[in-house]
Amino acid sequence: MLDKYVKPDFIFDSYRDVTPEFLKTDQIDALICDIDNTLVTYDDAEPTEEVICWYEELKRNGIQVAFVSNNNRQRVSLFNSKLNAPAFHNSRKPSRYALRRAIAAMGAAPARTAVLGDQLFTDVMAAKRLGISAIIVTPIKDRKSVFFRIKRAFERPLLRRYKKASGMNG
């Protein structure tokens, strides 16, 4: 069943809703974070002031953060240059490989680790294939490519159903 692989545990509008308080309630102390359309748009080379504040707030509260992106080295290292988190590029999510490396780099317990992303078929699927929690946010700005729009069209009814089922953050 598809649900097993693409159903997120939590759905939020924005990464800003993923607070230390929420994570602690769910006993999560390590976050594997997607970059593109989760934290910033494709056009933002560097983290915004808001992202930096959010990141520092997590760190202050003992939440570990790593970045796992399917984007290239240049994009990931420039984005990460001010944050200096463990960061992995060309991750090929839904592959689990980079997720495992991120967990190891953080010294995190998989049971207390969640993936934060914007795509069911890469971010959530990678998390679920590894058996860890997945938090999905609304993409900041959908890319305008035909492929992306087709993929999103497939995701939309699933997202709607999951939101309805969980009764949260519609």
Binding site for Mg ion (CB under 5 A): 34, 36-38, 118
Q: Which is nearer to Mg ion, 9 or 36 (CB)?
A: 36
Nearest to 80 by CA among 139, 72, 108, 19: 72
Of 86 and 139, which CB lies nearer to Mg ion in the complex structure? Answer: 139
Q: How far is the CB of 143 from Mg ion (least distance, A)?
A: 9
Q: Which residue's entry shows tokens 């679920």?
A: 128
In angstroms, the CA 67 to CA 99 distance is 9
**Closest CA relative to residue 68, chosen from 54, 52, 85, 47:** 85
- What residues are paired with 68 via a beta bridge? 88
Task: Decide whether 38 or 80 has the Cβ nearer to Mg ion.
Answer: 38
Q: How far is the CB of 60 from Mg ion (least distance, A)?
A: 25
Least Cβ distance, residue 38 to Mg ion (angstroms): 5
